[in-house]
């Protein structure tokens, strides 16, 4: 879990440090910083290099602070990146990181609630979602899967990253502690059973393709539109 801290306003000529952030938190700073992004972005990018299409548009659902999408857009300049988030403060942060990066292949962020029956975009060549499934109600995951089925062409990927519960794999103590902490923040949050996610994806019209173990007891999951 990311630590939280207030960013102080710097005087003239001084650097304003971005705010440490958890989804849903408020704050005055425009740019927010999720510390986990610095730790996991390169490992995630290495898998994305295998799973993303050679060209086209990628929608990132629940972009959070916006740091991931900026890093991936720089790493994969042949793709057009569309960040999104349901949190107005998150959208401000994404826009601030985008403005600073000045990358031509990152679109302005969209207000997008994964659980909504309609999204403000009608197609994508890939969908990426990092650390949302466990920090949102189950309805958001169901909406994400349904949205991917609507927007993706057959064979196009939905890529998920985060911690999961697996029936045949011992859950790390740190993940159990994280799960308990999430549920104290919101009883509707918490680590999801990977088999439940696979079953819901299958019902939505998405085939599970691959699981990759990642650092810090996380997983990347690849689904493709059937």
Tens of pLDDT, residue by residue over 176-221, are: 999 999 999 999 999 999 999 999 999 999 999 999 999 999 999 9
What residues contact 7, with CB distance under 8 A and at least 6 apart? 16, 17, 18, 19, 27, 28, 29
Residue 29 reports pLDDT greater than 90: no
Q: pLDDT band at 14, cuts 50/70/90?
A: very low
Query: Rounded to the nearest 5°, which phi and psi values hold at 34?
Result: -100, 105
Residue 33 reports pLDDT greater than 60: yes
pLDDT at residue number 35 = 87
CA dist 226 and 215 (Å) reads 29
Share of the chain above pLDDT 70, in %: 87
Domains, the chain, ordered by start: 30-225 (3.40.50.150)
> What is the rounded average pLDDT for all residues in the chain?
89
Tens of pLDDT, residue by residue over 60-82, are: 999 999 999 999 999 999 999 99
CA dist 141 and 158 (Å) reads 12
CA dist 201 and 223 (Å) reads 8
User: How crowded is the C-beta side of 179, counted as CA atoms within 13 Å?
Assistant: 16
Query: Rounded to the nearest 5°, which phi and psi values hold at 91?
Result: -65, -40
When pLDDT is averaged across residues 77-100 and rounded to a whole number, the result is: 95
Tens of pLDDT, residue by residue over 141-177, are: 999 999 999 999 999 999 999 999 999 999 999 999 9
End-to-end CA distance of the chain: 34
pLDDT at residue number 5 = 30
CA dist 66 and 91 (Å) reads 8
Residue 42 reports pLDDT greater than 90: yes
pLDDT at residue number 2 = 36
Residue 19 reports pLDDT greater than 80: no
Residue 15 reports pLDDT greater than 70: no
Q: pLDDT band at 7, cuts 50/70/90?
A: very low
Higher pLDDT, 121 or 9: 121
List the one residue out of 150, 153, 159 whose CA is nearest residue 132: 159
Against a cut of 0.75, is the pTM above it? yes
Query: Rounded to the nearest 5°, which phi and psi values hold at 27?
Result: 160, 160
CA dist 201 and 215 (Å) reads 24
pLDDT at residue number 30 = 82
């Amino acid at each position: 879990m990311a630590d939280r801290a207030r960013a102080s306003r710097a005087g003239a000529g001084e650097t304003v440090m971005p705010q440490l952030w958890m989804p849903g938190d408020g704050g005055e700073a425009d740019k927010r910083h999720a510390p986990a992004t610095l730790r996991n972005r390169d490992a995630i990018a290495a898998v994305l290099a295998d799973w993303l299409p050679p060209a086209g548009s990628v929608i990132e659902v629940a972009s959070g602070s916006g740091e991931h999408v900026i890093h991936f857009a720089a790493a994969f300049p042949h793709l057009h990146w569309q960040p999104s988030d349901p949190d107005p403060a998150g959208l401000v942060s994404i826009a601030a990181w985008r403005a600073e990066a000045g990358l031509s292949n990152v679109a302005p962020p969209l207000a997008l609630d994964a659980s909504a029956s309609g999204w403000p975009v009608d197609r994508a060549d890939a969908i990426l979602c990092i650390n949302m499934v466990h920090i949102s109600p189950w309805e958001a995951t169901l909406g994400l899967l349904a949205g991917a089925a609507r927007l993706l062409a057959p064979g196009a990927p939905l890529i998920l990253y985060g911690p999961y519960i697996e029936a045949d794999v011992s859950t790390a103590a740190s993940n159990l502690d994280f799960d308990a902490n999430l549920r104290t923040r919101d009883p509707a949050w918490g680590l999801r059973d990977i088999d439940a996610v696979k079953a819901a994806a299958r019902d939505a019209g998405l085939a599970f393709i691959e699981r990759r173990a990642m650092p810090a007891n996380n997983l990347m999951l690849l689904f493709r539109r059937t």
